Structure 1
Amino acid sequence: MARTYAIGDIHGALLALQQIIAKINPQPGDKLIFLGDYVDGWSQSAGVISYLMELEQQCDCIFLKGNHDAWCESWLAGEKPDNVWLFHGGISTVESYEPLSDAERTRHLDFYSRMLKYHIDEQNRLFIHAGFASLHGPDFERYEKNYMWDRTLWEMAVGLNPRIRKTDLRFPKRLRLFSEIFIGHTPTINYGISEPMKAANVWNVDTGAAFTGRLSALNIDTKKYFQSDVVRTLYPQEKGRNQY
């Protein structure tokens, strides 16, 4: 039976990503949905993008764009580096790109430009890096930054009384629009949880790989998951985003 995995925020941790892919061992028919934030943090951001571009040739992959990816894309396109970006992991990303030729950077820039804002599958499951604010869904979102930055969707789900079911009129309209929602962006370790975390009908797959957590891949049907080693143990001479 074909499997679909949602994979959380990688943040430059190529070694963790390689562990996850080895554990999944993708087979023909499987699908990998990456929830964004491939760069910024550990030292191999450019390597992560190169690896994903190779993986795309071998597997059925969907790549969503995160806020950190948008920052990097703007820089690769020639814009002045955003100081907020540099402070929040961008410096390590810039350094990772130093060995790449202009042609390689152009190929990477094309890859960033092809990343999706969100994806909705045939079972009405939404995959998005952060969230959306429109009560009518992401198709009607007025502010594109919300796809990559919004935390209110997740905060709403976390704050909802678990006894309130989807059929209850008190269940938030934004959450009712989809059977399930899969996001990254906000590390579950902020809530003391090191595994993929469910709140209402929202699954958060960012398990803090950029900081003190692991990279995770969640089977969206069975809800079984794979995790890498604690990422900072894979990069013992680095701090990742723990220094920011």
Structure 2
Amino acid sequence: MEVQLGFGAVPKPQYVFVSKEADHCWYMLAEDERRIPIYERALTGVITGIEVNKKVETKFGPAEKNDLYILADKPYIIRSGSESYFSQSLLLSLDVLTSEQLRNPLTIAVSPGDSNVVFCNIYDPVTYRSVGVSWDGHNEIDWQALGQKVSLKINKIQNLNQEPIQISANTTASEIHAVLIAQTDTYLAQLNWTPEQGREYLQQKYGKRSRLQLTDREILDFIDYLKLQLTQSSPTHTNS
């Protein structure tokens, strides 16, 4: 991942939306809200977080969405309706994956079904094997409880049991910086911090308004602070 100097797009995570169309199943939005079709069926990257049953405002009114955070060539957020077949099949797949599998790159694929239905399939990009899930008794599943279970598992991996970043001789400074920024994206989302809260903290602590202005040392310090907040807000944490 190279940093392009000069004018360009705002460096922020790219939202990806799920919708069954004639020749594609997901899309992005341009600045003018125009849909940009994504014809590829799969996105491969490392899952960095998930938010379930998130209340968002849409042009059709308030709705509950699930947001899956993935770090690939850049950070992506796959957004789908909490009650959609895509979200449900995604949760079923994530539930059966082990912690070790969730630490490695995975391939998230869309699979069109009948009518307007889109399913989610997860593959191991090394072995090409899909994650087998069962829909038996899916009408009796408590999807909200399953979503919370999956969220706790993924967020625990990313925050409490996260292994040190592996740096190779070929890793560039810009790539390291991008990974650190992506980590803060995950932690801020899990803390439900608003952009205003983040900017206020950065201004008070570092005298800067953006994470992109921070040095690597400052970003690491910021990550340690966010991880501490997550630990203190954990259900298992008690104040002395």
TM-score calculated relative to the size of structure 1 = 0.30
Greater relative CO, 1 or 2 (CA 8 Å, sep 6+): 1
Higher strand share: 2
TM-score calculated relative to the size of structure 2 = 0.30
